[in-house]
Amino acid sequence: MLNIKNLHASIEEKKILKGINLIVNPGELHVIMGPNGAGKSTLASVLTGKDKFNIDNGEILFDGQIINELPPEERACKGMFMSFQYPIAIPGVNNMYFLKEALNSQKKYRGETQLDSIDFLGEMKTKLKYVGLEESFIHRPVNDGFSGGEKKRNEILQMITLEPKLSILDETDSGLDIDALKIISEGINNFRNKDRSFILITHYQRMLDYLKPDFVHVMIQGEIVKSGDKSLALELENKGYSWILNEKVETSQS
């Protein structure tokens, strides 16, 4: 599904990603953890095509195609989705209208029949339940005046509506209350199947209790320095990141 080869990226001459390698197969859930400023959100932005960042080296393959130069909307239409760490508000634009436009642009790109407003509204009503949002939210402007947790729920609402192949969830768990964490995790679990892949960026392992990841990676200063299974997340939560850095120094010296 996704194959990242030796990816280097920078912003305004500042190197942030320094040789990322990662393969995500269909159905897999990968977790990326790492200290603040490590480059996790940058990786998500580069994957989804934010052009503020320059790719200096390396390749991103999505479904076997190099997408380094592909504009963000085409990547989205091909099935890439990011739940933003800080979702953006769009005052004046109705949430449901926005989501319908998004879905129909994607359907149009793929040559599928577009949905009309009535069918779409019906579909929305069931989906709202998965994320625990009231119906009034789809009639409000996109993320405008939403609380932190409501924004995150709205991101997941968009995910389950757009049905991407690859979902990159950037700290979707932060800002969610305890109940919401459970509801959202269940929503994501329901949405998982053998074809859909996930990259989950998080600082905590609490969501992983629900989500059962296949791999956990640690990113420090723009590199993936360690990979393991779910137990690595627990270990990080107990011990922090410094031991990995030491381990890294030792391996590079030997």
Partner 1 sequence: MPEKIITDSINQEYKYGFVTDIEQEKIPPGLNEDVVKLISKKKNEPEWLCEWRLKAYRHWLKMVEPDWAKVNYPKIDFNEISYFAAPKKKLNSLDEVDSEILDTYNKLGIPLQEQKMLAGVAVDAVFDSVSVATTFKDDLFKQGIIFCSFSEAVQDHPELIKKYLGTVVPITDNFYAALNSAVFSDGSFCYIPKGVKCPMELSTYFRINASNTGQFERTLLVADEGAYVSYLEGCTAPQRDENQLHAAVVELIAMENAQIKYSTVQNWYPGDKNGKGGIYNFVTKRGICKGDNSKISWTQVETGSAITWKYPSCILKGNNSIGEFYSVALTNNRQQADTGTKMIHIGKHTKSTIISKGISAGFGQQTYRGEVRINKNADNARNYSQCDSILIGDKCGAHTFPYIDVRNTTAQMEHEATTSNIGEDQLFYCNQRGISTEDAIAMIVNGFCKEVFKELPMEFAVEAQKLLEISLEGSVG
Of 17-25, 77-85, 173-181, 201-209, the segment contacting partner 1 by CB under 8 A is: 77-85
Listed in sequence order, the residues at least 6 apart from 100 whose beta carbon sits closer than 8 Å to its beta carbon are 115, 117, 120
Element spanning 249, H or E: helix 242-253
CA neighbor of 133 nearest in space, from 150, 146, 145, 152: 150
For ligand ATP, the binding residues (CB under 6 A) are 11-12, 14, 16, 34, 36-42, 85
Q: Is 53 in the site for partner 1 (CB under 8 A)?
A: no
What is the x/- site pattern for partner 1, positions 118-157, by CB under 8 A?
-----------------------x----------------
Decide: is 48 part of the binding site for Mg ion (CB under 5 A): no
Kindly identify the residues of this chain, within the stretch 79-98, that bind partner 1 according to CB under 8 A: 81-82, 84, 87-88, 90-94, 97-98
SS3 (DSSP) at 118: helix
How many CA atoms lie within 13 Å of 90's alpha carbon, on the beta-carbon side?
9
User: Is 111 near partner 1 (CB under 8 A)?
Assistant: no
If one asks whether residue 114 binds partner 1 (CB under 8 A), the answer comes out as no
Locate 112 and state its tokens.
């599928």
Number of residues that bind Mg ion (CB under 5 A): 3
Residue 84 vs 130, nearer CB to ligand ATP: 84
